[in-house]
A and B are shown apart, each in its own frame.
Chain A
Amino acid sequence: MTQKIISKEDESGNKVIITVLGQDKVGIISGISSILAENGVNILDISQTILQDIFTMVMLCDISKSSVQFGALKAGLEGKGEELGVQIQIQHEDVFKFMHRI
Protein backbone atom coordinates (compact mmCIF):
# COMPACT_ATOMS: atom_id res chain seq x y z
CA MET A 1 0.00 0.00 0.00
CA THR A 2 1.55 3.27 -1.06
CA GLN A 3 -1.32 5.69 -0.60
CA LYS A 4 -0.81 8.04 2.27
CA ILE A 5 -3.14 10.44 3.96
CA ILE A 6 -1.14 13.56 4.48
CA SER A 7 -1.51 16.42 6.85
CA LYS A 8 1.09 19.01 7.69
CA GLU A 9 1.88 19.34 11.37
CA ASP A 10 1.14 23.06 11.59
CA GLU A 11 -2.35 22.70 10.19
CA SER A 12 -3.66 20.27 12.76
CA GLY A 13 -6.62 21.13 14.94
CA ASN A 14 -9.30 21.29 12.30
CA LYS A 15 -8.63 18.08 10.48
CA VAL A 16 -10.89 15.11 10.63
CA ILE A 17 -10.66 11.62 9.23
CA ILE A 18 -13.79 10.14 7.69
CA THR A 19 -13.77 6.40 7.21
CA VAL A 20 -16.27 4.44 5.17
CA LEU A 21 -16.54 0.67 5.45
CA GLY A 22 -18.85 -1.71 3.64
CA GLN A 23 -19.87 -3.04 0.25
CA ASP A 24 -18.68 -1.03 -2.72
CA LYS A 25 -21.47 0.46 -4.78
CA VAL A 26 -22.32 3.38 -7.03
CA GLY A 27 -22.77 6.71 -5.30
CA ILE A 28 -20.81 6.37 -2.09
CA ILE A 29 -18.32 9.13 -2.82
CA SER A 30 -20.89 11.44 -4.33
CA GLY A 31 -23.31 10.87 -1.44
CA ILE A 32 -20.70 11.72 1.14
CA SER A 33 -19.02 14.54 -0.70
CA SER A 34 -22.33 16.28 -1.31
CA ILE A 35 -22.98 16.36 2.46
CA LEU A 36 -19.49 17.68 3.03
CA ALA A 37 -19.88 20.35 0.36
CA GLU A 38 -23.26 21.45 1.75
CA ASN A 39 -21.64 21.98 5.12
CA GLY A 40 -18.51 23.77 3.95
CA VAL A 41 -16.15 20.89 4.65
CA ASN A 42 -13.12 20.75 2.39
CA ILE A 43 -11.84 17.35 1.26
CA LEU A 44 -8.04 17.37 1.33
CA ASP A 45 -7.32 13.79 0.37
CA ILE A 46 -9.16 10.58 -0.45
CA SER A 47 -7.78 7.10 -0.41
CA GLN A 48 -9.67 3.92 -1.05
CA THR A 49 -8.76 0.29 -0.98
CA ILE A 50 -10.09 -3.19 -0.33
CA LEU A 51 -8.97 -4.48 3.08
CA GLN A 52 -9.94 -8.08 3.84
CA ASP A 53 -12.69 -7.98 1.21
CA ILE A 54 -14.21 -4.84 2.67
CA PHE A 55 -14.40 -1.62 0.73
CA THR A 56 -12.49 0.92 2.77
CA MET A 57 -12.38 4.62 2.04
CA VAL A 58 -10.51 7.14 4.10
CA MET A 59 -10.93 10.89 3.65
CA LEU A 60 -8.91 13.65 5.24
CA CYS A 61 -11.03 16.79 5.56
CA ASP A 62 -10.68 20.31 6.86
CA ILE A 63 -13.62 21.45 8.99
CA SER A 64 -12.26 24.92 9.83
CA LYS A 65 -14.83 26.54 7.51
CA SER A 66 -17.60 24.10 8.33
CA SER A 67 -21.01 25.73 8.71
CA VAL A 68 -22.28 23.20 11.26
CA GLN A 69 -21.20 21.84 14.63
CA PHE A 70 -19.20 18.64 14.70
CA GLY A 71 -22.07 16.70 16.24
CA ALA A 72 -24.48 17.73 13.47
CA LEU A 73 -21.98 16.82 10.77
CA LYS A 74 -21.43 13.46 12.42
CA ALA A 75 -25.17 12.78 12.60
CA GLY A 76 -25.61 13.78 8.95
CA LEU A 77 -22.85 11.44 7.82
CA GLU A 78 -24.11 8.56 9.92
CA GLY A 79 -27.58 9.04 8.45
CA LYS A 80 -26.13 8.97 4.95
CA GLY A 81 -24.23 5.81 5.86
CA GLU A 82 -27.44 4.06 6.81
CA GLU A 83 -29.02 5.16 3.56
CA LEU A 84 -26.07 3.80 1.56
CA GLY A 85 -25.72 0.64 3.65
CA VAL A 86 -22.15 1.45 4.71
CA GLN A 87 -20.61 2.42 8.01
CA ILE A 88 -19.38 6.01 8.12
CA GLN A 89 -17.29 7.41 10.96
CA ILE A 90 -15.86 10.84 11.51
CA GLN A 91 -13.08 11.33 14.01
CA HIS A 92 -10.64 14.03 14.87
CA GLU A 93 -7.31 13.41 13.13
CA ASP A 94 -5.45 13.67 16.45
CA VAL A 95 -6.72 10.23 17.47
CA PHE A 96 -4.67 8.60 14.75
CA LYS A 97 -1.68 10.90 15.02
CA PHE A 98 -1.49 10.36 18.77
CA MET A 99 -1.64 6.62 18.47
CA HIS A 100 0.74 6.11 15.58
CA ARG A 101 3.15 9.05 15.77
CA ILE A 102 5.25 10.49 18.56
Chain B
Amino acid sequence: MLSVQEIMETIRMVQHENLDIRTITMGISLRDCCHSDYRVAGQQIYDKITKVAANLVRTGEDIEKEYGIPIVNKRISVTPISVIAESSKTDNFVHFAEVMDKAAAEVGVNFIGGFSALVHKGFTSGDIRLIRSIPQALAVTERVCSSVNVATTKAGINMDAVYQMGRIIKEAAELTADRDGLGCAKLVVFANVPEDNPFMAGAFHGVGEPECVINVGVSGPGVVKNTVDKVKDADFGTLAEMIKRTAFKITRMGELVGRAASQKLGVPFGIVDLSLAPTPAIGDSVADILEGMGLERCGTHGTTAALALLNDAVKKGGAMASSYVGGLSGAFIPVSEDAGMIRAVEEGALSLEKLEAMTCVCSVGLDMIAVPGDTSAETIAAIIADEAAIGVVNQKTTAVRIIPAPGKREGDYVEFGGLLGHAPVMQVNKYSSNEFVKRGGRIPAPIQSLRN
Protein backbone atom coordinates (compact mmCIF):
# COMPACT_ATOMS: atom_id res chain seq x y z
CA MET B 1 0.00 0.00 0.00
CA LEU B 2 1.34 3.40 -0.95
CA SER B 3 0.02 6.60 0.56
CA VAL B 4 -0.48 9.82 -1.37
CA GLN B 5 2.25 11.38 0.78
CA GLU B 6 4.75 8.71 -0.23
CA ILE B 7 3.94 9.17 -3.89
CA MET B 8 4.27 12.92 -3.60
CA GLU B 9 7.55 12.59 -1.71
CA THR B 10 9.05 10.72 -4.66
CA ILE B 11 7.72 13.24 -7.13
CA ARG B 12 9.03 16.14 -5.04
CA MET B 13 12.50 14.58 -4.92
CA VAL B 14 12.64 14.43 -8.70
CA GLN B 15 10.99 17.75 -9.51
CA HIS B 16 12.30 20.03 -6.80
CA GLU B 17 15.38 18.40 -5.32
CA ASN B 18 17.21 17.27 -8.45
CA LEU B 19 16.97 13.55 -7.73
CA ASP B 20 18.23 11.76 -10.79
CA ILE B 21 20.20 8.78 -11.91
CA ARG B 22 23.52 10.33 -12.78
CA THR B 23 24.65 7.62 -15.12
CA ILE B 24 23.99 4.21 -16.57
CA THR B 25 27.40 3.00 -17.62
CA MET B 26 27.82 -0.06 -19.78
CA GLY B 27 31.11 -1.82 -19.20
CA ILE B 28 32.35 -3.64 -22.29
CA SER B 29 35.29 -6.01 -22.44
CA LEU B 30 37.54 -5.42 -25.43
CA ARG B 31 39.83 -8.33 -24.66
CA ASP B 32 38.87 -10.07 -27.90
CA CYS B 33 39.84 -7.05 -29.99
CA CYS B 34 43.65 -7.24 -29.85
CA HIS B 35 45.56 -7.40 -33.13
CA SER B 36 49.13 -6.78 -34.23
CA ASP B 37 47.84 -4.36 -36.88
CA TYR B 38 46.47 -1.35 -35.02
CA ARG B 39 44.00 -0.59 -37.79
CA VAL B 40 42.44 -4.04 -37.49
CA ALA B 41 42.37 -3.76 -33.70
CA GLY B 42 40.74 -0.32 -34.01
CA GLN B 43 38.10 -1.64 -36.37
CA GLN B 44 37.34 -4.54 -34.04
CA ILE B 45 37.00 -2.13 -31.11
CA TYR B 46 34.67 0.12 -33.08
CA ASP B 47 32.56 -2.81 -34.26
CA LYS B 48 32.26 -4.31 -30.81
CA ILE B 49 31.31 -1.09 -29.01
CA THR B 50 28.75 -0.05 -31.62
CA LYS B 51 27.22 -3.53 -31.65
CA VAL B 52 27.04 -4.17 -27.91
CA ALA B 53 25.97 -0.64 -26.94
CA ALA B 54 23.65 -0.04 -29.91
CA ASN B 55 20.53 0.08 -27.73
CA LEU B 56 22.03 1.63 -24.59
CA VAL B 57 20.82 5.19 -25.08
CA ARG B 58 17.37 4.24 -26.34
CA THR B 59 16.89 1.83 -23.45
CA GLY B 60 17.94 4.52 -20.99
CA GLU B 61 15.44 6.92 -22.48
CA ASP B 62 12.67 4.30 -22.32
CA ILE B 63 13.38 3.72 -18.64
CA GLU B 64 13.34 7.45 -18.02
CA LYS B 65 9.90 7.70 -19.59
CA GLU B 66 8.44 4.70 -17.81
CA TYR B 67 9.66 5.59 -14.37
CA GLY B 68 9.65 9.35 -14.67
CA ILE B 69 13.18 9.60 -13.30
CA PRO B 70 15.78 11.51 -15.29
CA ILE B 71 18.83 9.47 -16.31
CA VAL B 72 21.30 12.24 -16.99
CA ASN B 73 24.05 10.29 -18.72
CA LYS B 74 24.42 7.08 -20.63
CA ARG B 75 28.06 6.12 -20.87
CA ILE B 76 30.46 3.37 -21.78
CA SER B 77 33.56 2.05 -20.09
CA VAL B 78 35.97 -0.35 -21.77
CA THR B 79 38.91 -2.54 -20.84
CA PRO B 80 42.02 -0.40 -20.25
CA ILE B 81 43.30 0.36 -23.73
CA SER B 82 46.90 -0.18 -22.58
CA VAL B 83 46.03 -3.89 -22.32
CA ILE B 84 44.18 -4.08 -25.64
CA ALA B 85 46.57 -1.99 -27.73
CA GLU B 86 49.71 -3.53 -26.33
CA SER B 87 49.89 -6.21 -29.04
CA SER B 88 49.58 -3.65 -31.82
CA LYS B 89 52.78 -2.64 -33.54
CA THR B 90 52.50 1.10 -33.16
CA ASP B 91 54.00 3.69 -30.84
CA ASN B 92 51.08 6.02 -31.01
CA PHE B 93 47.83 4.98 -29.35
CA VAL B 94 45.92 8.12 -30.35
CA HIS B 95 44.27 6.10 -33.09
CA PHE B 96 42.56 3.99 -30.41
CA ALA B 97 41.20 7.10 -28.70
CA GLU B 98 39.85 8.32 -32.02
CA VAL B 99 38.14 4.97 -32.58
CA MET B 100 36.58 5.14 -29.10
CA ASP B 101 35.41 8.69 -29.76
CA LYS B 102 33.83 7.71 -33.05
CA ALA B 103 32.10 4.69 -31.52
CA ALA B 104 30.80 6.79 -28.63
CA ALA B 105 29.40 9.36 -31.03
CA GLU B 106 27.81 6.61 -33.12
CA VAL B 107 25.88 5.13 -30.17
CA GLY B 108 25.12 8.57 -28.71
CA VAL B 109 26.94 8.49 -25.36
CA ASN B 110 28.58 11.67 -24.07
CA PHE B 111 31.63 10.03 -22.50
CA ILE B 112 33.55 6.80 -22.95
CA GLY B 113 36.11 5.81 -20.33
CA GLY B 114 38.99 3.40 -20.54
CA PHE B 115 41.87 5.14 -22.23
CA SER B 116 43.62 3.86 -19.16
CA ALA B 117 46.63 2.11 -17.73
CA LEU B 118 47.31 0.42 -14.39
CA VAL B 119 50.92 1.08 -13.47
CA HIS B 120 50.96 1.00 -9.67
CA LYS B 121 53.93 -1.32 -9.65
CA GLY B 122 55.53 -0.64 -13.01
CA PHE B 123 55.06 -0.11 -16.72
CA THR B 124 54.63 -2.57 -19.55
CA SER B 125 55.38 -1.46 -23.10
CA GLY B 126 51.66 -0.88 -23.69
CA ASP B 127 51.40 1.26 -20.56
CA ILE B 128 54.29 3.47 -21.66
CA ARG B 129 52.88 3.98 -25.12
CA LEU B 130 49.40 4.68 -23.77
CA ILE B 131 50.53 7.24 -21.21
CA ARG B 132 52.64 9.08 -23.79
CA SER B 133 49.59 9.25 -26.07
CA ILE B 134 47.25 10.70 -23.42
CA PRO B 135 47.74 14.46 -24.00
CA GLN B 136 47.18 14.23 -27.72
CA ALA B 137 44.37 11.70 -27.35
CA LEU B 138 42.48 14.07 -25.03
CA ALA B 139 43.14 17.05 -27.29
CA VAL B 140 41.84 15.47 -30.49
CA THR B 141 38.84 13.64 -29.06
CA GLU B 142 35.72 14.98 -27.44
CA ARG B 143 34.25 12.09 -25.47
CA VAL B 144 37.21 9.97 -24.45
CA CYS B 145 38.20 9.88 -20.78
CA SER B 146 41.52 8.68 -19.48
CA SER B 147 42.73 7.36 -16.14
CA VAL B 148 45.97 6.01 -14.75
CA ASN B 149 46.34 4.09 -11.51
CA VAL B 150 49.69 4.91 -9.92
CA ALA B 151 49.38 3.36 -6.47
CA THR B 152 47.71 0.64 -4.44
CA THR B 153 47.78 -0.28 -0.77
CA LYS B 154 49.39 -3.62 -1.70
CA ALA B 155 52.00 -2.27 -4.12
CA GLY B 156 52.80 1.16 -2.74
CA ILE B 157 53.22 4.27 -4.89
CA ASN B 158 54.95 4.18 -8.25
CA MET B 159 56.69 7.54 -8.02
CA ASP B 160 58.06 7.26 -11.56
CA ALA B 161 54.46 7.12 -12.74
CA VAL B 162 53.49 9.95 -10.41
CA TYR B 163 56.17 12.22 -11.82
CA GLN B 164 55.35 11.23 -15.35
CA MET B 165 51.67 12.02 -14.78
CA GLY B 166 52.67 15.45 -13.51
CA ARG B 167 54.32 16.07 -16.87
CA ILE B 168 51.47 14.47 -18.82
CA ILE B 169 48.92 16.71 -17.09
CA LYS B 170 50.97 19.78 -17.99
CA GLU B 171 51.18 18.65 -21.59
CA ALA B 172 47.45 17.86 -21.73
CA ALA B 173 46.71 21.37 -20.46
CA GLU B 174 49.01 22.96 -23.03
CA LEU B 175 47.54 21.01 -25.94
CA THR B 176 44.07 22.22 -24.94
CA ALA B 177 45.14 25.74 -23.90
CA ASP B 178 42.49 27.25 -26.16
CA ARG B 179 39.84 25.51 -24.04
CA ASP B 180 41.25 26.40 -20.59
CA GLY B 181 43.05 23.06 -20.37
CA LEU B 182 39.94 20.94 -20.93
CA GLY B 183 42.08 17.87 -21.62
CA CYS B 184 42.93 17.67 -17.91
CA ALA B 185 39.24 17.57 -16.97
CA LYS B 186 39.06 14.20 -18.74
CA LEU B 187 42.12 12.72 -17.02
CA VAL B 188 42.21 11.16 -13.56
CA VAL B 189 45.22 9.85 -11.65
CA PHE B 190 44.16 7.19 -9.14
CA ALA B 191 45.33 5.28 -6.13
CA ASN B 192 43.42 2.04 -5.42
CA VAL B 193 41.23 2.49 -8.47
CA PRO B 194 37.97 0.47 -8.51
CA GLU B 195 37.32 -1.67 -11.57
CA ASP B 196 33.57 -1.12 -11.69
CA ASN B 197 33.26 2.64 -11.29
CA PRO B 198 30.44 4.04 -13.45
CA PHE B 199 31.46 7.68 -13.02
CA MET B 200 33.62 9.63 -15.45
CA ALA B 201 36.32 10.53 -16.01
CA GLY B 202 37.68 7.56 -14.04
CA ALA B 203 35.52 4.74 -15.39
CA PHE B 204 37.03 1.71 -17.07
CA HIS B 205 36.00 -1.93 -17.40
CA GLY B 206 38.31 -3.91 -15.13
CA VAL B 207 39.99 -7.12 -16.21
CA GLY B 208 38.05 -9.08 -13.57
CA GLU B 209 34.73 -7.89 -14.96
CA PRO B 210 32.40 -9.95 -17.20
CA GLU B 211 32.03 -9.57 -20.96
CA CYS B 212 29.49 -6.82 -20.54
CA VAL B 213 27.89 -5.27 -17.46
CA ILE B 214 25.59 -2.43 -16.41
CA ASN B 215 26.70 -0.21 -13.55
CA VAL B 216 24.62 2.63 -12.18
CA GLY B 217 25.60 5.85 -10.45
CA VAL B 218 22.96 7.65 -8.42
CA SER B 219 22.90 11.26 -7.40
CA GLY B 220 20.81 13.38 -5.08
CA PRO B 221 22.71 15.96 -2.99
CA GLY B 222 19.59 18.15 -3.19
CA VAL B 223 17.45 15.47 -1.57
CA VAL B 224 19.94 14.97 1.27
CA LYS B 225 20.24 18.75 1.72
CA ASN B 226 16.48 19.01 2.14
CA THR B 227 16.54 16.23 4.74
CA VAL B 228 19.35 17.93 6.65
CA ASP B 229 17.42 21.20 6.62
CA LYS B 230 14.43 19.45 8.19
CA VAL B 231 16.39 18.39 11.28
CA LYS B 232 18.13 21.69 11.98
CA ASP B 233 18.25 21.41 15.76
CA ALA B 234 18.57 17.63 16.06
CA ASP B 235 21.62 15.90 17.53
CA PHE B 236 24.14 13.99 15.41
CA GLY B 237 22.49 10.61 15.93
CA THR B 238 19.22 11.90 14.51
CA LEU B 239 21.02 13.70 11.70
CA ALA B 240 22.88 10.54 10.67
CA GLU B 241 19.68 8.49 10.88
CA MET B 242 17.79 10.89 8.62
CA ILE B 243 20.59 10.94 6.04
CA LYS B 244 20.67 7.13 6.11
CA ARG B 245 16.96 6.90 5.38
CA THR B 246 17.22 9.37 2.52
CA ALA B 247 20.26 7.61 1.07
CA PHE B 248 18.27 4.39 1.16
CA LYS B 249 15.49 5.93 -0.93
CA ILE B 250 17.89 7.49 -3.43
CA THR B 251 19.80 4.24 -3.85
CA ARG B 252 16.62 2.24 -4.37
CA MET B 253 16.04 4.28 -7.52
CA GLY B 254 19.50 3.31 -8.72
CA GLU B 255 18.78 -0.33 -7.97
CA LEU B 256 15.46 -0.18 -9.82
CA VAL B 257 16.94 1.51 -12.87
CA GLY B 258 19.94 -0.83 -12.88
CA ARG B 259 17.74 -3.90 -12.77
CA ALA B 260 15.43 -2.54 -15.47
CA ALA B 261 18.34 -1.63 -17.76
CA SER B 262 19.99 -4.97 -17.18
CA GLN B 263 16.80 -6.84 -18.05
CA LYS B 264 15.95 -4.77 -21.12
CA LEU B 265 19.48 -4.97 -22.51
CA GLY B 266 20.04 -8.60 -21.56
CA VAL B 267 23.25 -7.65 -19.80
CA PRO B 268 24.15 -8.58 -16.21
CA PHE B 269 23.68 -5.93 -13.54
CA GLY B 270 26.97 -5.02 -11.89
CA ILE B 271 26.75 -2.50 -9.09
CA VAL B 272 25.12 0.65 -7.82
CA ASP B 273 27.64 3.34 -6.95
CA LEU B 274 26.37 5.18 -3.89
CA SER B 275 28.32 8.36 -4.51
CA LEU B 276 26.55 11.64 -3.87
CA ALA B 277 27.48 13.34 -7.11
CA PRO B 278 26.86 17.09 -7.28
CA THR B 279 26.25 19.15 -10.42
CA PRO B 280 26.80 22.87 -10.99
CA ALA B 281 23.01 23.33 -10.73
CA ILE B 282 21.80 25.32 -7.75
CA GLY B 283 20.45 22.98 -5.06
CA ASP B 284 22.57 20.03 -6.20
CA SER B 285 25.61 20.68 -4.03
CA VAL B 286 27.49 18.61 -1.45
CA ALA B 287 28.91 21.82 0.06
CA ASP B 288 25.35 22.98 0.73
CA ILE B 289 24.69 19.81 2.73
CA LEU B 290 27.73 20.45 4.92
CA GLU B 291 26.68 24.04 5.42
CA GLY B 292 23.16 22.83 6.22
CA MET B 293 24.65 20.87 9.13
CA GLY B 294 25.68 24.14 10.74
CA LEU B 295 28.90 25.30 9.11
CA GLU B 296 28.91 28.90 7.97
CA ARG B 297 30.95 28.00 4.90
CA CYS B 298 32.22 24.71 3.54
CA GLY B 299 35.94 24.55 4.32
CA THR B 300 35.83 25.99 7.81
CA HIS B 301 36.84 23.97 10.88
CA GLY B 302 34.43 21.08 11.33
CA THR B 303 34.05 20.46 7.59
CA THR B 304 36.02 17.20 7.65
CA ALA B 305 33.89 15.86 10.52
CA ALA B 306 30.68 16.87 8.80
CA LEU B 307 31.80 15.19 5.58
CA ALA B 308 32.79 12.03 7.45
CA LEU B 309 29.34 11.82 9.00
CA LEU B 310 27.64 12.44 5.67
CA ASN B 311 29.75 9.92 3.79
CA ASP B 312 29.27 7.18 6.37
CA ALA B 313 25.52 7.70 6.67
CA VAL B 314 25.11 7.64 2.88
CA LYS B 315 27.02 4.34 2.71
CA LYS B 316 25.03 2.75 5.53
CA GLY B 317 21.70 3.73 4.02
CA GLY B 318 22.76 2.91 0.48
CA ALA B 319 24.25 -0.47 1.31
CA MET B 320 20.86 -1.61 2.63
CA ALA B 321 19.10 -0.52 -0.54
CA SER B 322 21.10 -2.42 -3.11
CA SER B 323 22.13 -6.01 -3.61
CA TYR B 324 25.51 -5.02 -5.03
CA VAL B 325 27.29 -1.85 -4.09
CA GLY B 326 30.58 -0.89 -5.66
CA GLY B 327 32.47 1.68 -7.67
CA LEU B 328 33.60 4.72 -5.73
CA SER B 329 30.65 4.94 -3.33
CA GLY B 330 31.33 8.10 -1.37
CA ALA B 331 30.52 11.78 -1.52
CA PHE B 332 32.22 13.59 -4.39
CA ILE B 333 33.75 16.99 -3.75
CA PRO B 334 34.63 18.28 -7.22
CA VAL B 335 35.15 22.02 -7.01
CA SER B 336 34.08 23.07 -10.50
CA GLU B 337 30.99 20.85 -10.49
CA ASP B 338 29.55 22.08 -7.19
CA ALA B 339 28.16 25.61 -6.84
CA GLY B 340 28.65 25.56 -3.06
CA MET B 341 32.30 24.52 -3.37
CA ILE B 342 32.94 27.26 -5.92
CA ARG B 343 31.42 29.84 -3.57
CA ALA B 344 33.49 28.55 -0.65
CA VAL B 345 36.69 28.90 -2.69
CA GLU B 346 35.71 32.37 -3.90
CA GLU B 347 35.08 33.55 -0.37
CA GLY B 348 38.36 32.20 0.88
CA ALA B 349 36.80 29.52 3.11
CA LEU B 350 38.06 26.51 1.19
CA SER B 351 41.71 25.89 0.33
CA LEU B 352 43.59 23.11 -1.42
CA GLU B 353 44.91 21.94 1.96
CA LYS B 354 41.41 21.64 3.42
CA LEU B 355 40.20 19.79 0.34
CA GLU B 356 43.07 17.37 0.81
CA ALA B 357 42.02 16.78 4.41
CA MET B 358 38.44 16.21 3.28
CA THR B 359 39.56 13.53 0.85
CA CYS B 360 40.74 11.47 3.83
CA VAL B 361 37.11 10.78 4.75
CA CYS B 362 35.33 10.62 1.43
CA SER B 363 35.80 9.65 -2.16
CA VAL B 364 37.30 10.53 -4.34
CA GLY B 365 40.08 13.04 -4.06
CA LEU B 366 41.18 16.39 -5.38
CA ASP B 367 38.64 16.61 -8.13
CA MET B 368 38.24 19.26 -10.81
CA ILE B 369 40.61 21.72 -9.23
CA ALA B 370 42.09 24.52 -11.30
CA VAL B 371 45.53 25.78 -10.34
CA PRO B 372 47.69 28.50 -11.90
CA GLY B 373 49.06 27.76 -15.36
CA ASP B 374 52.64 28.19 -14.23
CA THR B 375 52.35 25.39 -11.64
CA SER B 376 55.25 23.04 -12.37
CA ALA B 377 54.96 19.38 -13.33
CA GLU B 378 56.91 18.60 -10.15
CA THR B 379 54.39 20.40 -7.92
CA ILE B 380 51.51 18.62 -9.64
CA ALA B 381 53.33 15.32 -9.16
CA ALA B 382 53.79 16.14 -5.49
CA ILE B 383 50.07 16.89 -5.14
CA ILE B 384 49.35 13.50 -6.75
CA ALA B 385 51.83 11.83 -4.39
CA ASP B 386 50.10 13.35 -1.35
CA GLU B 387 46.69 12.14 -2.49
CA ALA B 388 48.04 8.69 -3.37
CA ALA B 389 49.59 8.44 0.09
CA ILE B 390 46.24 9.18 1.71
CA GLY B 391 44.61 6.46 -0.38
CA VAL B 392 47.33 3.89 0.06
CA VAL B 393 47.66 4.28 3.82
CA ASN B 394 43.91 4.44 4.46
CA GLN B 395 43.06 1.60 2.06
CA LYS B 396 40.70 3.74 0.06
CA THR B 397 40.40 5.15 -3.43
CA THR B 398 41.81 8.59 -3.95
CA ALA B 399 42.35 10.51 -7.15
CA VAL B 400 43.57 13.74 -8.61
CA ARG B 401 41.89 15.56 -11.47
CA ILE B 402 43.71 18.86 -11.60
CA ILE B 403 43.85 21.52 -14.29
CA PRO B 404 46.95 23.75 -14.50
CA ALA B 405 45.00 26.33 -16.48
CA PRO B 406 47.23 27.78 -19.20
CA GLY B 407 47.80 31.51 -18.80
CA LYS B 408 45.64 31.74 -15.68
CA ARG B 409 46.54 33.00 -12.23
CA GLU B 410 45.00 32.63 -8.82
CA GLY B 411 41.59 34.28 -8.79
CA ASP B 412 40.99 33.80 -12.54
CA TYR B 413 38.38 31.36 -13.78
CA VAL B 414 38.32 28.36 -16.05
CA GLU B 415 35.14 27.59 -17.96
CA PHE B 416 34.35 24.10 -19.21
CA GLY B 417 30.58 24.30 -19.46
CA GLY B 418 27.97 21.61 -18.93
CA LEU B 419 28.50 19.04 -16.19
CA LEU B 420 32.17 19.98 -15.88
CA GLY B 421 31.20 23.50 -14.79
CA HIS B 422 33.57 26.37 -14.06
CA ALA B 423 36.18 26.84 -11.37
CA PRO B 424 38.17 29.58 -9.69
CA VAL B 425 41.93 29.06 -9.98
CA MET B 426 43.27 28.07 -6.56
CA GLN B 427 46.52 28.86 -4.88
CA VAL B 428 49.22 26.18 -4.59
CA ASN B 429 52.11 26.15 -2.16
CA LYS B 430 54.91 28.26 -3.62
CA TYR B 431 57.75 26.13 -2.25
CA SER B 432 59.36 23.50 -4.44
CA SER B 433 58.96 19.71 -4.25
CA ASN B 434 61.40 19.12 -7.12
CA GLU B 435 64.07 17.08 -5.41
CA PHE B 436 61.49 14.88 -3.70
CA VAL B 437 59.54 13.86 -6.79
CA LYS B 438 62.68 13.43 -8.90
CA ARG B 439 64.09 10.69 -6.67
CA GLY B 440 62.31 8.03 -8.74
CA GLY B 441 61.40 4.48 -7.82
CA ARG B 442 58.56 3.32 -5.62
CA ILE B 443 57.35 4.29 -2.17
CA PRO B 444 56.97 0.89 -0.47
CA ALA B 445 53.56 -0.49 0.46
CA PRO B 446 52.55 0.51 3.98
CA ILE B 447 52.50 -1.88 6.93
CA GLN B 448 49.02 -3.26 7.58
CA SER B 449 49.30 -3.59 11.35
CA LEU B 450 50.21 -1.01 14.02
CA ARG B 451 47.39 1.13 12.65
CA ASN B 452 47.67 4.59 14.06
Contacts and interface: CB of A to CB of B under 8 A. Distances in A.
A99 B249 CA distance: 5
B430 to A, nearest CB: 50
Most chain B Cβ neighbours within 10 Å, of A7, A51, A98: A98
A4 B255 contact: no
B265 to A, nearest CB: 17
B2 A96 contact: yes
9 contacts: A3-B4, A5-B4, A5-B7, A6-B1, A58-B4, A58-B7, A91-B67, A95-B256, A100-B6
A49 B253 contact: no
Contact of A98 (B1, B7, B9, B253): B253
Given A70-B65, A95-B67, A89 B252 contact: no
A56 interface: yes
A94 B62 CA distance: 15
A56 B3 contact: no
B8 A51 contact: yes
Contacts of A3: 3-4
Range, interface on chain A: 20 to 34
Nearest to A21: B11
Interface string A37-80: 00000000001010100001010000000000011001000000
B235 interface: no
B452 interface: no
A19 interface: yes
B69 interface: yes
Interface in A17-38: 17, 19, 21
A92 B3 contact: no
B4 A95 contact: no
B7 A96 contact: yes
The 3 closest A-B pairs by CB, nearest first: A91-B68, A98-B256, A100-B6
Given A19-B8, A100-B249, A5 B68 contact: no
A99 B253 contact: yes
A19 B7 CA distance: 8
